Structure 1
Amino acid sequence: MVAAVKKYFEQEHGVSLSEETTTITSVPLEGEGKVEDRVNKLYNNLINHSVWLEAVSSADVILWATHSQGTPVSVMLMHRLLERGHIHTHRQSVGMLAMAGISHGPFPYFEADAARELFEFMDSESDISQKFRRSLGYIMERGIKLTLVGSMQDQVVPLYSAIISAISHPNIVRSVYIDGHIFTQENEFLIRLITFALGLRNAGLSDHGLLTHLSEVLAGSLYALEGGHSTIYEELDVYSLAVQHLFETDPLGKAILINNTQSSSRHDNRKNSITTNSSSTTEESKKEAKLYPFQAKSIKNPYYLPWAMRGICEDSLILNNPLWSDELDQLRLMFDEWEPISPKLRSVKIRLEPFTLTLV
């Protein structure tokens, strides 16, 4: 994250952040265990390090990076720090980057005690989910800018979980990280469809559950070394997205629209997250978050996917917007030319057939 901040100011503003001109303090909070145990442990670690605590309380800007189970831990920990007056959003700008966060639970593969607890996040009515959701709503209402990046081929966390699909707020930007070897011709349409749906969510529009119902198709293999869950946090551009989100949207920066694909030569031509970002206004930045019920077991029906696609194709807010309607037309052309080879993707094409319907 420190490297991403320095890179941003050098590339965007021609400013070199040196130790003589800028103080950047890294606070590495570490600790294993269940979510609430980790919250308590990390809070105590911070409180017991006076240099860290003073740095957090006095900083002009706080950038917080977290991964996997660390996402609910970090959200609940930030809630506590805000509530107890260690972070002051009336004079501090705060951004959190959550990479492959387990917010709606993992894929059902794990046995360890700490991992078993994470299945409770699949139900928004469970005790730990309720605590997490209260903390999530609390930090969003206080103007925290949340950058959510899921991994397209994650073996552990579904995309709907990483992007916290059951919450809406103007200060949330959603994105997807894709390892370079996933950029194949067979996957081109699917990648474009995912980034389109993420763009809808970032613009405050509905994706009609499309990302949720595509998530199982995107699951990476536990038995192949294909990256995903454990490579997302090695990519500098993922962190740069969070820095850009914090500094280039109100109240710090002017509202912007980003619609780009960034690439990195690191890690065998691996490419980073792709996003469409509609930034929030100052008035919206501290509005109440909308939290929706979520039950992971209710999304298993494969017949939901065609209805999600049909919903997008008939959404007047999408059809009446030149940007999104043009993108929808491009996707339809790509869909007609898409010839998937794998059984999994062939099944997806069959279920997306409503996409070929002519709109009136």
Structure 2
Amino acid sequence: MAKKRFVVIGVHGWFPSKFVLRSVVGEPTGTSAKFCDETAKAIRHYFEVEHELTLPLECITLIPLQWEGKVMDRVDKLYHFLVDNPASLEAVKTADVIFWTTHSQGTPVSTILMDRLLDENLIQLHRQPVCFLAMAGIAHGPFPYLKGNLIVKYFEADAARELFDFMDSKSDISQRFHQALASILRQGVKTILVGSMQDQVVPLYSAIMANAQHPNILRALYVDGHVYSDDDFLINLIVFALRLRNAGLSDHGLLLHTSEVLAGNLYAWEGGHSTIYEEPSVYSLAPTLLFNTAPVGPLVRSPQQHGPSTQKDAKLDAFTARTRWNPYYLTWAMRGIFDDPQINQHFSQDLDRLRHLFDGWHPSSTKLREIKFRLEPIKARL
């Protein structure tokens, strides 16, 4: 194992003007390096715990990529940083395993850049397994109501305005992103999409790329520790819906239609868009998925992933974000889940637990009480 070479690439997200509070989106310097450091720690911890092996520090090369701007401008700059830097380029070309960690706007940047490197054979997936960890990725844009926020309205940053172009899958930048995403998934890049329960900037449906379907995608949820509870109905409902998606089943639009109520400080002011990358367990998902699942590891996540099925084309549905979603769809989404024969076959115990948690759920906020009102039909199935 000591002879194996690992490369970790980190790409930060978009940062607003220095005049705007950065407590929500993070600091402009050091986050790419932090992503690299935390991912490297997760890799070493994995081998220590799972295999009682200590990886020498020199086995892991860290490549933090930093440049601000619009998506394609960043792609070009970061590409030339890699190919014009002999040490970085050699590390990527000779690596045995590549981990790529990113956040927010860095997700489309990283996806397009990775696809370019694959297209030019600078990364070769037949001999270099790649795991892509995207935290709070802005795949479908920010919350639509933020378009009138002071970040965009008063500072008029081109990079900020461009984020809203991702709300429409027909926009030029969305199509470029989707082409690259489909390409890396088809070629075998293990992709982990982690959304934040209390994100102030990116809706959950955006972070988990709600319109994408492929066996190489694993979806997960980050919840700040101070608001987490094992018996919280809403948290359990969201996690359950993500499990359905990870199993290749439909969530019947549940994640899409609950994202709005999860916006901002649902439970508290703290947390959300930037605290997701402060949690070590988020980074641990990458080595666990890559080394434990086929073709590197022995585990198969679902029947869909046997054999060459992971190399099939990604399904990317058309998507247009809305300022407000029809609240009545949530009731139909839940009915669809409870009436779905596949879900009842494989997740009947989970459905029973959700019914039980719902009966004991007493939300205090107006938004959550409205959500409970819409979900009242669950009780009719007790």
TM-score in terms of structure 2 length: 0.84
Given candidates 317, 331, 339, the residue that maps to 2:354 is: 331
Shift of the 316–147 alpha-carbon distance from structure 1 to 2, 3 Å rule, reads same
Distance 1:241 1:74 in 2: 18
Shift in Å at residue 280 of structure 1?
Answer: 3.1
Greater Cα shift, 298-307 or 148-157: 298-307
Shift in Å at residue 160 of structure 1?
Answer: 0.4
Corresponding residue number in structure 1 for 2:126: 90
Distance 1:348 1:113 in 2: 36
Corresponding residue number in structure 2 for 1:357: 380
Distance 2:264 2:220 in 1: 17
Distance 1:282 1:217 in 2: 39
Distance 1:123 1:34 in 2: 17
What do residues 3-62 of structure 1 show as CA deviations (whole Å, max 9, x unaligned)?
A: 11001100111000014xx62100111100000110001001111111111111111100
Distance 2:303 2:162 in 1: 34
Matched, 1:101 2:137: yes
Greater Cα shift, 148-157 or 106-115: 106-115
Corresponding residue number in structure 1 for 2:96: 60
Instruction: Extract unaligned runs of 5+ from structure 2.
Output: 1-38
Aligned-partner SS, 1:62: strand
Distance 2:49 2:375 in 1: 41
Matched, 1:235 2:235: no
Q: How many aligned residue pairs are there?
A: 335
Corresponding residue number in structure 1 for 2:67: 31
AA partner of residue 186 (structure 2): E
Aligned-partner SS, 2:133: strand
Corresponding residue number in structure 1 for 2:166: 121
Distance 1:282 1:216 in 2: 38
Matched, 1:307 2:332: yes
Given candidates 206, 217, 221, the residue that maps to 1:161 is: 206
Distance 1:328 1:314 in 2: 11
Instruction: Extract unaligned runs of 5+ from structure 1.
Output: 258-276
Shift in Å at residue 279 of structure 1?
Answer: 8.4
Matched, 1:179 2:204: no
Matched, 1:316 2:341: yes
Shift in Å at residue 284 of structure 1?
Answer: 1.8
Aligned-partner SS, 2:248: coil
TM-score in terms of structure 1 length: 0.89
Distance 2:375 2:135 in 1: 28
Corresponding residue number in structure 2 for 1:11: 49
Corresponding residue number in structure 2 for 1:77: 113
Distance 1:119 1:196 in 2: 29
Distance 1:200 1:232 in 2: 22
Query: Are the counterparts in 2 of residues 213 and 305 from structure 1 also a CA contact under 8 Å?
Result: yes
Aligned-partner SS, 2:368: helix
Shift in Å at residue 225 of structure 1?
Answer: 4.4
Query: Are the counterparts in 1 of residues 75 and 112 from structure 2 also a CA contact under 8 Å?
Result: yes
Shift in Å at residue 181 of structure 1?
Answer: 1.4
What do residues 217-255 of structure 1 show as CA deviations (whole Å, max 9, x unaligned)?
A: 111239x74111111111111010111111111000011
Shift in Å at residue 184 of structure 1?
Answer: 4.7
Q: Superposition RMSD on alpha carbons, in Å?
A: 1.9
Q: Identity across aligned pairs (percent)?
A: 58
Distance 2:289 2:229 in 1: 29
Query: Are the counterparts in 2 of residues 249 and 279 from structure 1 also a CA contact under 8 Å?
Result: no
Greater Cα shift, 292-301 or 27-36: 292-301
Distance 1:301 1:313 in 2: 20
Corresponding residue number in structure 2 for 1:271: none
Shift in Å at residue 97 of structure 1?
Answer: 0.1
Given candidates 253, 259, 272, the residue that maps to 2:297 is: 253
Shift in Å at residue 182 of structure 1?
Answer: 1.4
What do residues 89-135 of structure 1 show as CA deviations (whole Å, max 9, x unaligned)?
A: 11110010000000000013240321111111111111111110000
Shift of the 279–30 alpha-carbon distance from structure 1 to 2, 3 Å rule, reads farther
Distance 2:104 2:138 in 1: 5
Distance 1:256 1:4 in 2: 22
